[in-house]
Chain A
Amino acid sequence: MKDIADLLRHHPFAEGLDEDTMALIAGCAKNVVLQPGDYVFREGAAADSFYLVRHGAVALETFVPGRGAFTFLTVKSGEILGADWLIPPYRSSFDGRAIELTRAIAFDGKCLRGKCEADPRVGYEMMKRFIPPLLKRLQGARMQALGMYDAANA
């Protein structure tokens, strides 16, 4: 059976990460399996984890009264899920719901923050891996906010 470090090694997030750091952060991680419909986190709840999706897909949703839940982003294999663990008050901004069988590596946010505080080199490695996908999502969100496909812009 593969251990967490093995699973981590095969995820794009860990590309270029040295073995010591890999082993260190693996100490904060566990393997999780989500069934379709399972909520990974709920809006307003404590954001104490983040996830590296190995296989599957998770929808990021928000609920609009009278209209139901809206998905604004899907996070799929090879991507990171959850950023609210990074900054106080560590509270989830949205719902995260598995939309298919999903396997992921779950990290204890508090544990990882502690290791980043203790060793800034680890913190910098984490930052280098978090900022690019988060920036890309921000850019994508801006494009979505423009209503690019609306009639006036088509």
Chain B
Amino acid sequence: MRQTLKACAPSPYPMAPSMTRVTRFIRESAEVFTFDLAPERAAPFTPGQFNMLYAFGVGEIPISISGAADAPERLTHTIRAVGPVSAALGKLQAGDRVGLRGPFGVGWPVEEAKGFDVLLIGGGIGLAPLRPVIYWLLRHRAAYGRIGVLYGARTPEDLIFGGELEEWRRTPDFQLRVAVERAGPSWTGDVGYVTPLLSKLRYDPADAIAMICGPEVMIRATALALEDAGVADSRIFVSMERNMKCAIGHCGHCQFGPMFICKDGPVHRYDRVRDLLAYREL
């Protein structure tokens, strides 16, 4: 099947959710869960785009799509239960209804990355928006150079996509390093901050594209480390989080300097947002 990365045609009623049902629910860790939705109409999406998910009677939140872009008929989202809406979504079971709007926003530059070494750095739940990129890279492996993935989490118990991490670790020509902040004696992987592991990956900084998703403090530190290693700031892409409400750039809740995160992001080129990241007021 030929792939398309065209964004979904805008709906004439972008604020009206369509009805979907949960078809599968997976508990990833104590706080994180993944569910699949069966949309009424499959809408193509780009890795990195997000949907607005509506827990009826509670509210609506933006959630990045964590499934494969070549299977839009099954929309997968991975969510950390941190607020009332995400907690309500975490109580759903297969067959329960969810309101859906989307996909929205600008995704990861998977086309632009062709021919480059690709580095993906995810922290915590930040691995979820990067998983569609991993699927994409593996499906189109020959189009890319070396692939390196760094993933940081609190503890081994907080790791998400555990089975797939093992699978990726065994995948030839695919570098994966996982670092946790603390671990018990049975953990034999890396312990520590995730950014220093960049030096353990094989890649050509002059010919690399990096994509980072995680807590903003991690994004800033990782982008600087990549620059120090010689990766051009125009080839570093970051996924930003702000208070997104309408998802179409109308309400202004997610304004970030001259941009709206929902419409101009969530994925941004680092050289275009670096200075803005330094403003605490934004």
Interfacial residues, chain A to chain B (CB-CB below 8 A): 57, 59-61, 68-74, 76, 97, 99-100, 136-137, 139-141, 143-144, 146-154
Which residues in window 48-99 of B have CB below 8 A to A?
A: 80, 82
Identify which of B125, B153, B183, B217 contacts A70 (C-beta below 8 A).
Answer: B183
Interface residues on B, range: 20 to 34
A152-B82, A153-B215, A154-B215 known; 12 new pairs, CB 8 Å cut-off, are A57-B188, A70-B182, A71-B185, A74-B192, A76-B200, A136-B196, A137-B192, A143-B221, A144-B193, A148-B123, A148-B217, A149-B152
Contact check, A143 vs B31: say whether CB atoms are below 8 A apart. no
If over half of B's interface residues share one DSSP class (helix, strand or loop), that class is named, otherwise mixed; here it is mixed
- Which A residues are in CB contact (< 8 Å) with B217? 143, 146, 148, 153
- CB-CB contacts of B168-199 with A at 8 A, as 1s and 0s? 00000000000001111101111111011000
Contact check, B191 vs A74: say whether CB atoms are below 8 A apart. yes
Question: In whole angstroms, what is the CA distance A153 to B126 when docked?
Answer: 12
Contact check, B185 vs A148: say whether CB atoms are below 8 A apart. no
Which residues in window 200-238 of B have CB below 8 A to A?
A: 200, 214-215, 217-218, 221
Known: A59-B191, A136-B196, A154-B124. A148 touches B215 (CB 8 A): yes
- Which B residues are in CB contact (< 8 Å) with A141? 193
- CB-CB contacts of B249-265 with A at 8 A, as 1s and 0s? 00000000000000000
Known: A151-B80, A151-B82, A154-B215. A72 touches B31 (CB 8 A): no
Known: A74-B190, A150-B154. A68 touches B218 (CB 8 A): no
- Which B residues are in CB contact (< 8 Å) with A139? 193, 221
Contact check, A149 vs B184: say whether CB atoms are below 8 A apart. no
16 contacts between A and B (CB under 8 A): A71-B185, A72-B181, A72-B192, A99-B188, A136-B196, A140-B192, A140-B195, A143-B195, A148-B123, A148-B124, A148-B218, A149-B123, A149-B124, A151-B31, A153-B215, A154-B215
